[in-house]
Structure 1
Amino acid sequence: MVSHAHQGTTSSALARLSVNVARLVGIGPHGYAHLPGMAPQHLNDDLCRTPAATAIRIAELTTVQAPWTEMSVLLARESGIGTLGVWDYLITSAPTPLEGIRDAAAYFATVADPLTDGMRITEDGERVTISHLNRADIAHEAACGIRGYALGLYQRRLGEAAGRRLVPLHVSLAAKAPARHEVLVELYGTRRIEFEAPASSITFRAADLDSPTPHAQPGLSAVLRRHAEQSLASAVPLHDWPALFRTALGSAHDEGAPTLSSVARRMSISARTLQRRLEEHGTTWSEEVETVRRDLIARLLHDTDLSVDSVAARSGYADARALRRAVRRWYGTTPAALRRAGRGANTQAGV
C-alpha cells in the first residue's frame, strides 16, 4: 500500500513527538511553527503526513540544544504506548513479540519516511537482530539521535509486548562515538554498545521474542494490519507548499466560507505572504477557492440528494441561480444533468 506519494513524509504523530521533545530542551514555537506541516490543523490531524524535511529540521534544532544521546533518550521516554498510533499496537498485540516486530517492519511507513528509513529483521538461530536502516549522513548529529532513538523504541515496544524489560545482547549504532554515553547505557540496559558501526541494530535472544504476548487477542493482528493499510491509503502527504495550502483551504471551507486571512492564520503566515506564495506557484486565491467549490459541488450532486438550493448554500453561493451559472461555466451543463451523469458513472463502476 506504500506509494511514491508517501515518500518524503513522516506521520504527524512522529512530528508531534519531535515537537514535544524540542520543547523539553527549550525550543519555543518560534523555532519551528513556520515550517511546512506545523500548522495546528496539520500537526494534529493523523491523516496528514509531515514533510520529512520539517522533521529533520526539528531534530537539527534539538541537537543544537542537547547532545544527540539526550535527544535519543528523551524521544524514547516520551514514546508511551499509543504515541505512534497503530504501529505501536502492531507490536504489542501480536501473538508473540517477534511476530509483532515483523508486522512493525512491514508497516514502518505508517510512521517513518519510506524513502530514507526502514527496518530489517534477521533471525539467526538463537538470536534476532532488528536493524534500523537510515540513509542519512552517519556523522550528522540529528541522524545519530534518530538512530539511537529508533533502537530504544524497538526495545521498549518489545518489552511492553513481552510484559517485562528485555535486555539486548548487543547494540550497534551507525553514529559517532560521543564523549559520554551513560544515558544510552541506561536506555538500553547494557554496556555492549558499539559506535561507528556500518548499520544500527539491536540484538535479542530469540527465546525472549518467541514467548507468547500476555495480552494478545486472536484475530487482532489482522485487524490492525488492515487498519495500517487503510491509514496509508487515506493519508494526505504534505509534500510541498501547494499541498499544504490546499489542505488548509479545504479544512477552512468545511467550517464555512473561507477568507484569505483565516487560511493564512491556519498556515501561520500573513495574508500578504499567502498571496505572494500563490502567485509564485502560478495561481490565485479566487482560482483556488473556485476549485474547492467546484469539487464540493460535484461531490454533493453525485453523492447526496440535496436540493440545488441546499447545494448552493453549502458551497457558498448566494442562491441556486448563481450555482447554476457556475456549473454552466465549468461543465457546460445544468446541475441536474451533472447529477445524472455522475450517478450513471457510479453505477457503471459498481459503486
Structure 2
Amino acid sequence: MVSHAHQGTTSSALTRLSVNAARLLGIPPHGYAHLLGLAPEHLNDDLCRTPAATGIRIAELTTVHTPWSELSVLLAQQSSIGTLGVWDYLITSAPTPLEGIRDASAYFATVADTGTDTLQVTEDGEHITISHVNQADLTYEAACAIRAYALGLYQRRLGEAAQRRIVPVHVALAAEAPRRHDALTELYGTRSIDFEAPDSSITFLAGDLKTPNPHAQPGLSTVLRRHAEQTLATAIPLHNWLDLFRAALASADDETTPTLSAVARRMAVSTRTLQRRLDEHGTTWSDEVETVRRARITRLLHTTDLSIDAIAARSGYADARALRRAVQRWYGTTPATLRRTGHHHPDSAATGLSDLG
C-alpha cells in the first residue's frame, strides 16, 4: 500500500498547515519560501507530496521564534476537521473512535513520512494508548513541537468522532518540561503530563474510545479506506528537481497534449535549460512524455469503457493503430488484452511517472 517513493515526503496539506502557522507567528517568509515544494502550484495541489525536509525546516525556523509548546497548541488549533483530507475522516466516520484511530494508523502515510514517523495504538485492559514516534533528523525544539502537536491532533479527532471532548487519563512527552505548562494543559485538558518519556503517548479510558460514534454511517469507512489507497496511488512525491518537472508535465497533460515550451513556462525556465536539466538527470523530453502517455493510456484502459480510437485521441496519438503499436512496445500485448486482464508488464513501474494520473 505504501510505496517506497512516498518516504521522505509528507502531504501538501500538512505542509500548508506548517506554512500557515509560520505566517501567523510572523516568521519572515524569505527563510523558507524558496524550499522545494512551496511553489503555489505544488503547495496547493493535494496530489503533490512535499519533501519532509521542507516541513522540518519550517518547524525549526518557527521554534526559534516561539516556544515549542506554544507552536504545538497553535498547530492543533489550526487543524480543523478536513485540514488533513481523507485521513481526518477515517477517524471521525468510523463506527467507534478506536476503529477510526486504527484506520488512521493503517493509512498514516497519507499525511506523514512513515520513514520517520509512526502512529501506534495499544490496548491494555481498561486503557488504550496512542503513541507517536518521531525519528526525523531535526532540532530538539522542533521535534518536541511535532510530537506534542501529534498527540493533541489525535485527541481532537477522537473527540470530533465521539461528538464530545475526550479527556486523557495520562499524557507522556519525549521532551523536557517547559518553563510553563499552561499551553499543554489547555491542549490536552489535563495536568497529568509526564516529561522526558522514552516515547510520546496519550492514554484514554477504553470505554471512551469504544463507545459507538453518534453519527457513524455503515459502510462509509470502507469507502474512505479505498479513497485513502487511491490518494497514495496517485500522489506525486517531490524529492528533487526531476520530481518538480514531472509534476509540471503531469499538470500540463491534464489540460492538453503537453509541449516543451508550455512546461518550460510553468517552470519559469527556457526550453534549452529544461532540456539540459533533463539530460543531467539521465532522461529526455520524449522519454518523459511517453511515460506520461503510457500512464494515461493504462489508466483509461483499466478505468473506463472508452473505445481505443477515443483513448488514442485523448492521448495524442494519430489513430488507434499508432496506440496499438505503442501498447505492444510497452507491454508486449494488445490494448484489448491489457484492458481485459488488468495486468501489465512488471517493468512498467520502472520510471517515476508510471503511477501518475
Q: Which category of TM-score, normalised to the shorter sequence, fits these structures? A: 0.7 to 0.9
Which shifted more, 174-183 or 191-200? 174-183
2:289 maps to: 292
1:9 maps to: 9
Spell out the pairing of 1:263-274 with structure 2 (5 A cutoff).
263=263, 266-267=266-267, 271=270
Cα shift readout 1:12-65 (whole Å, capped 9, x = no counterpart): 111111111111111354333322222222222222221111111121122122
For the 8 Å contact 1:127–1:203, the answer to whether it is kept is: yes
Please tell me the residue identity of whatever aligns with 1:11: S
How far residue 281 of structure 1 moved from its aligned partner, in angstroms, is 2.4
For the 8 Å contact 1:138–1:174, the answer to whether it is kept is: no
SS at match of 1:157: helix
SS at match of 1:10: strand
Which shifted more, 133-142 or 236-245? 133-142
Spell out the pairing of 1:164-179 with structure 2 (5 A cutoff).
164-179=164-179
Corresponding position: 1:241 with 2:233: no
Structure 2 CA distance for aligned equivalents of residues 256 and 347 of structure 1: 24
For the 8 Å contact 1:300–1:306, the answer to whether it is kept is: no
2:128 maps to: 128
How far residue 253 of structure 1 moved from its aligned partner, in angstroms, is 4.1
Spell out the pairing of 1:199-238 with structure 2 (5 A cutoff).
199-238=199-238
- Structure 2: any 5+ residue segments left out of the alignment? 344-357
Cα shift readout 1:167-215 (whole Å, capped 9, x = no counterpart): 1111111123222231111111111211221000011111211212111
Structure 1 CA distance for aligned equivalents of residues 273 and 61 of structure 2: 24
SS at match of 2:73: helix
TM-score, with structure 2 as normaliser: 0.81
2:144 maps to: 144
For the 8 Å contact 1:97–1:212, the answer to whether it is kept is: yes
How far residue 131 of structure 1 moved from its aligned partner, in angstroms, is 0.5
1:198 maps to: 198
Match of 2:335 among 328, 332, 343: 343
1:114 maps to: 114
TM-score, with structure 1 as normaliser: 0.82
Structure 2 CA distance for aligned equivalents of residues 254 and 275 of structure 1: 21
Q: Which has the larger radius of gyration?
A: 1
Structure 2 CA distance for aligned equivalents of residues 262 and 181 of structure 1: 54
Identity %: 67
How far residue 241 of structure 1 moved from its aligned partner, in angstroms, is 2.1
Please tell me the residue identity of whatever aligns with 1:153: L
Cα shift readout 1:323-348 (whole Å, capped 9, x = no counterpart): 9xxxxxxxxx9567447864254256
For the 8 Å contact 2:260–2:285, the answer to whether it is kept is: no
Change in CA separation of 1:150 and 1:337 when aligned onto 2, cut-off 3 Å: closer
SS at match of 1:123: strand
Please tell me the residue identity of whatever aligns with 1:46: D
- Structure 1: any 5+ residue segments left out of the alignment? 324-332
Q: How many residues align?
A: 332
Corresponding position: 1:84 with 2:84: yes
Which shifted more, 25-34 or 203-212? 25-34
For the 8 Å contact 2:132–2:151, the answer to whether it is kept is: yes
Change in CA separation of 1:276 and 1:21 when aligned onto 2, cut-off 3 Å: farther
